[in-house]
Amino acid sequence: MRKTLVLCLTILTAGTVLGQHAGHEPAADCPMKKEAAASPYSGQETRDIKALSDDERRRLLEGHGMGMALPAELNRYPGPKHVLELAGELDLRPEQIDAAETIFDAMDERARQLGQRLIELEADLDERFSLGEIDEDALSKIVLEIGRVRGDLRLTHLRAHLQMRAAMSEDQIADYDRLRGYRH
């Protein structure tokens, strides 16, 4: 088995290096053959921005959390959007509704701005690779900026959960968790 695997890897490497010339195909029983032939990214090469699906782009532009606040949401730090959706069941006071709206509006505005910026950066990165106009310096700058923007976006969503928790009672938080289907 080990010899077969070494042979398969050698053939795969040679096939890649030699441009898959005739006679350099992996052996039929090579466990790597199927994995090497297909890519989970197949079809994504037609995307406008390779790193983002159309749905991800839409959700970023609309300010959605996209799971960025799960540590808060699943640990008893309610999100303002869902608090507003459940306002009646949570028996929120008028000042709590105002607070939730203020928290949500600030989060939503900032998240949309950051989402737009993230899309612009990913488009720039993609274009530079597409045109073959990328070097180590440009790559480092863009990728680090993408990381900073993603971090800021996540912070924006998590901060809103932190602020929302401070505006609610323990009973309301327990009701929120129950209504959202969480068990604590």
CATH number of the CATH domain containing 174: 1.20.120
Q: Provide the number of structural domains found in the chain.
A: 2
- Across the 184 residues of the chain, what is the mean pLDDT of every consecutive 10-residue run? 41 40 51 66 89 96 96 98 98 98 98 98 97 97 98 98 98 97 86
User: Are both 75 and 125 inside the same structural domain?
Assistant: yes
Say how far apart CA 94 and CA 54 lie, in whole Å. 38
User: Is residue 44 domain-resident?
Assistant: no
**pLDDT value for 135:** 97
Q: How far is CA 82 from CA 1, 17, 163, 179, in A?
A: 55, 54, 14, 10
User: Are both 53 and 91 inside the same structural domain?
Assistant: yes
**pLDDT value for 4:** 42
User: Are both 109 and 54 inside the same structural domain?
Assistant: yes
User: Are both 135 and 103 inside the same structural domain?
Assistant: yes
User: Are both 27 and 96 inside the same structural domain?
Assistant: no
Q: Is 122 helix (H, G, I), strand (E, B) or coil?
A: helix
Domain range for 13:
1-38
**pLDDT value for 46:** 85
pTM of the prediction?
0.78
**pLDDT value for 28:** 56
- Nearest alpha carbon to residue 167 among 94, 111, 89, 67: 94
